[in-house]
Amino acid sequence: MFSKKLIVKAPALSRSLTIGLIPADGIGKEVIPAAQKIIEHVIDKVDFVNLDAGFELFQKTGVALPDETVEILKKCDGALFGAVSSPSHKVAGYSSPIVALRKKMDLYANVRPVSSAKGALGKPIDMLIIRENTECLYIKSERLEKDPKTGLQTAWADRRITEYASKRIAKMAFDMALVRAKNPTIHSKPKVTIVHKSNVLSVTDGLFRESCRAVAQNPEYKDVIVEEQLVDSMVYRMFREPEVFDVVVAPNLYGDIISDGAAALVGSLGVVASANVGDNFVIGEPVHGSAPDIAGKGISNPIAAIRSAAMLLDHLGYNAEATKIKVAVDTVLTEGKTLTPDLGGKATTEQVTSKVIANL
């Protein structure tokens, strides 16, 4: 999955690997232990450090992301994050711990592979969505202003797009396109699709588009096909012609929406993995949320977390072990006999995990 230039903190394979575990909220407490079991079956020398974060922790202590968690993470080789509850209403003093972690650890890319031998409309899908992870509307700069005449409120949100962050995420997208071109995929040539809305947001999205285009001029990427899609047409075309997309790069908000939507193409959010990638650290994170409606019932799908664990190991240089996990998961999904309810089955989290282990 990752090129060597992105493997920046690979531990010596002779020593013990240290992985931080942050289950956080809801089904995160179920799927992260499942991923831990899988890692234990493919790596002999591994230590796990259990760490706290999340909305449930905030409700108990008033802190969503303890400083201690961040400091301990910096001593780990990598980490897995489960899921976080995000209240739809404003909660004074609370902000998402995973968003904060991305900023504190400078995990500037969210890498989300979406693949299926036979996806929506019976068409093959092999797409890699790379989402800028540190800015856009997710800087959370919002305010309310009241009109003194009418007494009505106006909500404002600032959006930040920088040339630095845009070029950095574009470089990763083009690098990954070249890496993918070395391995068999459904695409004959490497291609990067730049997603934006510069026809309306000509300054912010305009800068993102221009920055990505500037990176594309690097001679190193002369063989990479470059395309653009307005974000609305991207969504439409992604569902109509998913097979045409290879690597997709987008600002934070668009990337979030596109990657969640793409999960519908391969069956469920419960099977889509991701990795929050920086130059010095990686946190694997399943794409699904905390799913409070099924939390505690033992039926959450562990596949996304297990695949995220494989992405983490791949990044850390444990490529053979990561491949074993990927093959085992694909076997379970292809057989279709041991699936959780989100995929139309009746299996429990534990049963799916055991089935993956049996296929390792």
Closest CA relative to residue 10, chosen from 261, 294, 343, 316 = 316
List the pLDDT tens digit at each of the 360 positions of the chain.
Answer: 454 344 444 555 556 899 999 999 999 999 999 999 999 999 999 999 999 999 999 999 999 999 999 999 999 999 999 999 888 788 888 989 998 999 899 999 999 999 875 555 567 789 999 999 999 998 889 999 999 999 999 999 999 999 999 999 999 999 999 999 987 667 789 999 999 999 999 999 999 999 999 999 999 999 999 999 999 999 999 999 999 999 999 999 999 999 999 988 888 889 999 999 999 899 999 988 899 999 999 999 999 999 999 999 999 999 999 999 999 999 999 899 999 999 999 999 999 999 999 999
Of 202, 231, 266, the one marking the end of a domain is: 266
Domain total in the chain: 2
Token pair for residue 109?
A: 């890319």
Please report, for residues 14, 143, 170, 314, 323, the alpha-carbon distance to residue 320 in angstroms, rounded to integers and kept in the order given.
15, 49, 28, 8, 5
Which residues contact residue 273 at a Cβ distance below 8 angstroms, ignoring those fewer than 6 apart? 112, 113, 284, 286, 287, 304, 305, 306, 307, 308, 310, 311
Closest CA relative to residue 42, chosen from 13, 20, 21, 22 = 13
- Phi and psi, residue 220, nearest 5°: -60, -25
Of 266, 293, 320, the one marking the end of a domain is: 266
Of 209, 233, 266, the one marking the end of a domain is: 266
- Phi and psi, residue 203, nearest 5°: -85, -60
Distance of CA 358 to the CA centre of its chain: 27
Residues 1 and 308: beta-carbon distance below 8 Å: no
Backbone CA torsion sign across 227, 232, 234, 236: negative
Q: What CATH number is given to the structural domain containing 252?
A: 3.40.718.10
Task: Give a yes or no: residue 112 inside a domain.
Answer: no
- Phi and psi, residue 226, nearest 5°: -115, 125
Task: Give a yes or no: residue 199 inside a domain.
Answer: yes
Residues 116 and 265: beta-carbon distance below 8 Å: yes
Do 40 and 81 belong to one domain?
yes
Do 168 and 58 belong to one domain?
no
Q: What is the 3-state secondary structure (H, E, C) of 65-83?
A: CCHHHHHHHCCCCEEEEEE
Token pair for residue 160?
A: 């930040």
Task: Give a yes or no: residue 326 inside a domain.
Answer: yes
15 DSSP 8-state letter: S
- Domain with 140, as residue range(s), is 120-266
Q: What is the pTM of this model?
A: 0.89
Convert the pLDDT of each residue in 164-186 to its tens digit: 999 999 999 999 999 999 876 67
Do 132 and 237 belong to one domain?
yes
- Phi and psi, residue 12, nearest 5°: -60, 130
Name the helix (H) or strand (E) containing 260: helix 252-262
CB count in 10 Å sphere of residue 103: 15
Token pair for residue 203?
A: 């300054």
